[in-house]
Amino acid sequence: MLDPHAGWLTARAPEVDFNSAVLYRELVTHFGYTGSVQQVLRFVRPLRVAARQTRATARFETEPGQQAQVDFGQCRVWVADAEVTAHLFVCTLGYSRRTYPEAFPHERLSAVLEGHEHAFQHFGGVPAQVVVDNARPVVLRHDRDPETGRHRVVWHPTYADFAAFYGFTPWAHWPYRPQTKGKVEAGVKYVQRNALAGKRFHSWEHLNAWLLEWATTVADTRVHGTTHEVPRERFAREQLYAVRHPPGVRPRARDAPDRGARLSRGDRREPLLGARPVRRGGRRRAGAPGQLRDPAPGGRDRPPPRGGRPRGGDGAGALRGAVAAGWGRAPAPRGRAAAP
């Protein structure tokens, strides 16, 4: 009964998002169709399935040195005699697809900054743009500019200063749209399934030493499925900016705004880096934003203003590497070697 209308249905179905009820109504109204809606549904179903199989997000390729994508993934691994959750920081260069993985016991701001620094050292340079996830240690919120009405990202001030210090532009994908970060999403799965499957480690240092070895001897030397080139060979055409600062030298921390005073539901006791506990109306809450301290020429920070650095702790101690070492002094070397 639908054979006379097959051509019209095939052309019209995508225009109404394969809605059988709409198609049935139009068939009755315009063509005097006397069949049932179930017949229309059976006709449309294979068209809908075929469209979903062919519909894909267009892959966005970048120029050499233009972009890196970073993300965290979780994996259960054996460290010493305990099975623990390793939070995998993965940084993937958009053009060459070279990957830098590192495991941390958490995903707090200290791990984000440390992962960035080690990735820049590993690659020997900094990309123009870094695409990040919408995790609270980095992105406080999305809103609209009150003057222009355009969408904007409100960054954690410490991460914004860190990006300016190293000379890259941070970019966060739209919420609930991780396809814009597809290169590193695939890289995280690759690390989980290829590098860590069935492995046991004596310590966290042993785990990260293996990840670095795997990245340089396996991930960088395979033929990539999308580019059909070896990432190490393609990396020769990358155009990264030189790292201008010694390892561990960072800008001083700013206070976090009130709305960014907590990392996540699982980190209730730990304020963000630089947040000062103050009292307002008898309740403790994070302090107001502090002042930005621009780094002086030569990569050295200017002396702190009168009164010293803002008070504030590292909460439960998760930010020891960033705070205890001092923002402006290089922490003790980790002994990680750059890729050959």
* Assigned domain for 326 exists: yes
The CA–CA distances, whole Å, from 5 to 8, 9, 27, 173, 243 equal 5, 6, 8, 43, 65
* Assigned domain for 259 exists: yes
Q: Give, for 23, the enclosing helix (H) or strand (E).
A: helix 20-31
* Assigned domain for 46 exists: yes
In this structure, which amino acid lies at residue 40?
V
Q: CA angle 199-205-208, nearest 5°?
A: 60
Note whether 149 and 264 are same-domain residues. yes
Cβ distance 122 to 96 under 8 Å? no
* Assigned domain for 199 exists: no
Out of 54, 69, 92, a domain closes at 54
Note whether 156 and 285 are same-domain residues. yes
Note whether 42 and 138 are same-domain residues. no
Q: β-pairing, 129-132 with 169-172? A: parallel
Note whether 50 and 158 are same-domain residues. no
* Assigned domain for 210 exists: no
CA distance 18 to 27: 14
Note whether 289 and 141 are same-domain residues. yes
pLDDT of residue 98: 94
Total count of domains within the chain = 2
Contacts of 232 (CB under 8 A, 6+ apart): 96, 98, 220, 221
* Assigned domain for 308 exists: yes
The CA–CA distances, whole Å, from 206 to 72, 98, 209, 212, 219 equal 19, 22, 5, 10, 18
CA distance 317 to 334: 19
Note whether 46 and 145 are same-domain residues. no
CA distance 223 to 229: 5
Note whether 160 and 272 are same-domain residues. yes
In this structure, which amino acid lies at residue 184?
V
Q: CA angle 214-338-248, nearest 5°?
A: 120
Q: Give, for 183, the enclosing helix (H) or strand (E).
A: helix 182-190
Note whether 160 and 292 are same-domain residues. yes
What pTM, to 2 d.p., does this model score? 0.58
Q: Divide the 340 residues of the chain into consecutive groups of 10 and give the mean pLDDT of each group.
A: 86 86 89 90 89 60 88 92 94 93 94 94 94 85 81 89 92 63 66 88 96 94 87 92 77 51 31 33 35 36 39 34 38 42
Cβ distance 76 to 193 under 8 Å? no
Note whether 17 and 153 are same-domain residues. no
Note whether 249 and 156 are same-domain residues. yes
Domain range for 39 = 7-54
Over residues 132-152, the pLDDT tens digits come to 988 778 999 888 778 887 778
Cβ distance 269 to 315 under 8 Å? yes
Note whether 252 and 145 are same-domain residues. yes
* Assigned domain for 220 exists: no
* Assigned domain for 292 exists: yes
According to DSSP, the residues that pair with 77 across neighbouring strands are 84
Contacts of 47 (CB under 8 A, 6+ apart): 9, 10, 13, 14, 18
